[in-house]
Amino acid sequence: MLLSKLSNLDGASGDEGEVRRFIHERIKEYVNTIEVDPLGNLICFKKGRKKGPLILILAHMDEVGFMITGKRQDGTLKFSKVGGIDTRVILAKTLRIGRKKIKGVIGVKPIHLLDEEETNKIPKIEDLYIDIGAKSDKEVKDIDIGDFAYFDTNFEKTSTGIVKGKAFDDRIGCSLILDIVKGKFNFPFYAVFTTQEEIGLRGARVIGNRIKPDYAIVLEGTAAGDFPSKKDIARTPLLGKGPALTVIDKSMIADRDLLQRIIGIAKRKSIPYQIKQAGIGGTDAGRIQISQRGVKCGVIAVPARYIHSPASLMSVNDYNNTLKLAVSVLKDLG
């Protein structure tokens, strides 16, 4: 599956070029026009023989990552987060840095050197550093301030139908669109890959006003909830239970008519689905929905454990069912 290659690419918010080039090369034979706007959004249009509502399917190319912000005299690097990353998951993790993908490790004091007070505290990001093995700042020649750094994680398959990789939010959505556009459709639609979603849904901010769709379907990789927790805390969505549909999150309230239409299609097609835990996260739909005079938006997502971390887990069955549902919804709207 294309997700294996997309996951291994590096593309944080503002550094999506590697991902954009990969998608451009693989989508060009299936669409009629391709354009890159000033924000770096990749805008593709697929013609159809019939007229109908203008439909947009959308996913974001960027992932969370890090940026180099300084070089210390001892050869270690200062850095900051790009997007929402929990400091707890980055300690002692391996990174690849800059265009030459130089390996480094996020430095943290070993536990046997900590005093009792330090043991009970999570280090602050400003107390951490990246160690590339340099002895002084003069040895750091191939890394510049402003370079990006990424989790050094490679895509892997398991024998249980689960895959592991980084950047599943939202290379899953990018992979789904690349699979969708290979099909034959009688109606025209836009397939758009946005930038800078992880730092404020920025790429999507201009897309709704530019394309002016009647319907928008956002395809995402969303946080799964099936990990140990208190019994009174909602644990949806779950791996293996099908695509997750959004009712409400921090960025929008889904159009109820469109949501019920999607649910109806899933039931008719016998596609398993689940409802995403309310009020969690946000997507590009939050910007598309309030563009121009308003757009009917829906979000269909593949659950993935541990998003925004060095490694996520996803069910291949969930991916396939999400693809089936997305294609069915697209044809129904068209």
Who's near 256: CB < 8 A, 6+ residues apart?
none
Ordered DSSP codes for 114-174: --HHHHTSPPPGGG-EEE-S-SSGGG--S--TT-EEEE----EE-TTSEEEES-HHHHHHH
**88: which strand partners?**
none
Query: What's the rounded Cα separation, in Å, for the pair 285 and 325?
Result: 18
What phi, psi does 155 have (nearest 5°)?
-65, 140
**Nearest by Cα to 35 from 188, 171, 192:** 192
Q: Say which of 35, 116, 118, 197 is annotated catalytic.
A: 197
CA distance 164 to 148: 22
Please enumerate in sequence order all residues whose Cβ is within 8 A of that of 133, keeping only pairs 6 or more positions apart, or say none. 75, 104
Type of residue numbered 314 = M
Confirm whether 197 is a catalytic residue.
Answer: yes
What b/e readout covers 267-285, taking b as 16+ CB neighbours within 10 angstroms? eeeebebbebbeebbbbbb
Using only C-alpha atoms, the chain has a radius of gyration, in whole angstroms, of: 21
Instruction: Compute the 3-state secondary structure of the chain and give helix, strand, coil in percent, each to the nearest 5.
Output: 30, 25, 45
Angle at 157 between CA 151 and CA 159, to 5 degrees: 145
Active site members: 197
